[in-house]
Structure 1
Amino acid sequence: MKNIFIKLMTVVVSGLLLTSCDADSSANVSRVTNYPVFELNGESTEFVELGSTYTEPGATVTENGQDIPFAITFAGKYRGAKTLDTSKIDEYTETYSATNVDGFPGNSTRKVIVYKTGDLKTSIEGVYIATTKRNGQLMPASQGSSENVKYIYIWKNADGSFQVSDAFGGWYDISRNIGVTSAAVGGTITGDISTGEFTFPGIPVCDYFGGSAKISGLTVDADSKTLVLTTDWAADAATNYKFVATLTQVQL
């Protein structure tokens, strides 16, 4: 499937030149510039299994119908990578950038998700869709939706512990669209999946609001492919929230 991303194709640039009494003066000169037009091959979200090779789907960028060169860059959302690292689970933004002959820039993006799907018996790694309640309530419709939120990620560390991309279940980052600084990134989970006995030694970081966010509970149901993650957060002395996120593992 091809995804076409078109910024305004033309814009009229006018310059009113200073004139004298010369009848041949070039006043009110206008010209047309054509912005880069992006046509991306493949899907708007590409999934790459951990440790495999990403095959770039390709793109065509044109200016006034003619191909022009473009650059590709990557940035990891939750774990700080500045390039695509298929050995590190994360959601990466792939950005295609080009500049037209008049110096006007343009860009288009897609998501590249590096994943591993755990069996929920020995590993809880995975890509998850979240439905989250805060203090027992779903998000009010006027603020967004905390149901079927895409995506929350869980990855495994070298020491065998696990971490979650957002212990708030995407409440602020995705549902409220505030951005990654409002996520509670990096809550650590250790323990025995088979017995359901877990500890949570790491404190998730929420740069946007501050306060102390701590995972306080986790249940795992391998049959239904779901986790229930509970996080307690005190943003300040007057604000105390309990987030309960039901995470459904995407089968990739």
Structure 2
Amino acid sequence: MKNIFKLSILGLGLALTLASCSPEDPIGSKVTYYPLITVNGDDFMSVEEGGTFNDPGAVATIGDEEVPVTTTYEGRFRGQTYNSTLGTSVADLYTASYAATNEDGFDGVATRTIYVGNTGDLVTSIEGLYRSTVTRNGALTAQYTDMEYVLIWKNSDGTYEISDAFGGYYDLGRAYGVGYITPGGVIVANDIPTNNFSFPGTQYNSGFGAPSEITAMTVDPATNSIDLTVVWTTTTTYTFQIHLDQVQL
């Protein structure tokens, strides 16, 4: 009887072993095609404030099939967002995002930059899009040269405002991003040809805080450039010398 019992256990173990070695069901798989976005026209475009922007758009394909594109516009400095059509009443640098999604929920996105604003003559207006070169306490390194871009726009009350009172030093030079700009740099142009400006208010850096003031400004229409001095008071006093070269669009 003991031998029969042992044989039964052996047979059961062999049966379990054979069952565990049986082939598994094959795992299903398929090919997923991600959306491919092709932007029509230039990567950088501009339109006058209040004008009409004719977006060349983009084409999205999944495999060999063209699919719909969703377009959104987001302002870099002043927070405006638009869907489908770009509004032009607020001067800013806008990122146009062209997006499509495949059936598995994977996105494809491509972008272009659009400047909405005006190019002042630096005699009657200082509005414009500028490349910025900045020294801090007299020091200049390569990444703080010809940084793109700083904006100056005109407010409804006739004052002007600069997108970053530090000229992009932390945002663009150190690549900390728009969370480290110093907004609110208001400029009153009492008389542009004689370089008579005043600077009401105090600005605070978005990331680091601490007050700063624009203390001087000189405009040179012959070279399409502006020079600013900004003093920032933290535990140390920093003086930023900002040279702006206007982009001729």
Same fold (TM over 0.5): yes
Query: Displacement, 1:147?
Result: 0.7
Runs of 4+ in structure 1 displaced over 3 angstroms? 20-25
Match of 1:7 in 2: none
Q: Aligned equivalents of 1:43 and 1:72: distance in 2?
A: 16
Q: Residues 26 and 64 of structure 1: is their aligned pair in 2 closer, same or farther, counting only changes over 3 Å?
A: farther
Identify if the C-alpha distance between structure 1 residues 99 and 149 changes in structure 2 by more than 3 Å, giving closer, same or farther: same
Instruction: Give the residue type in structure 2 aligned to 1:100.
Output: N
Q: In the alignment, which residue of structure 2 is the partner of 1:116?
A: 118
Q: C-alpha offsets along residues 80-139 of structure 1, whole Å, 9 cap, x if unaligned?
A: 111233121100111111111111122111111112011111110011111111111113
AA of the residue aligned to 1:241 = Y
Among all aligned residue pairs of Structure 1 and Structure 2, give the percentage whose two residues are the same amino acid.
43
Partner of 1:78: 77
In 2, Cα distance between the equivalents of 1:135 and 1:147? 15
The RMSD of aligned alpha carbons is 1.7
**How far is the alpha carbon of 1:181 from its aligned partner?**
1.5
Correspondence for 2:244 among 218, 242, 247? 247
Q: Secondary structure in 2 aligned to 1:174?
A: helix
TM-score using structure 2 length = 0.86
After TM superposition, give the deviation of residue 26 of structure 1 in Å: 2.8
Tell me which amino acid in the other structure corresponds to 1:166. Answer: D
8 A Cα contact 1:189 1:202, kept in partner:
no
Alignment-derived partner of residue 165 in structure 2: 167
**Residues 62/49 of structure 1: CA separation in 2 closer, same or farther (3 Å cut):** same
* One-letter amino acid of the structure 2 residue matched with residue 245 of structure 1: I
User: Match for residue 3 of structure 1?
Assistant: none
User: Which residue does 2:220 correspond to in 1?
Assistant: 221
Aligned to 1:158: 156
Q: Secondary structure of the equivalent of 1:181?
A: helix
Task: Report how many aligned residue pairs link the two structures.
Answer: 227
Bigger fraction of residues in helix: 2
Which amino acid in 2 is paired with 1:34?
Answer: Y
The aligned counterpart of 2:146 is 148
Stretches of structure 2 lacking an aligned partner (at least 5 in a row): 1-18
2:175 and 2:36 map into 1 onto residues whose CA distance is 27
How far apart are residue 214 of structure 1 and its match? 1.4
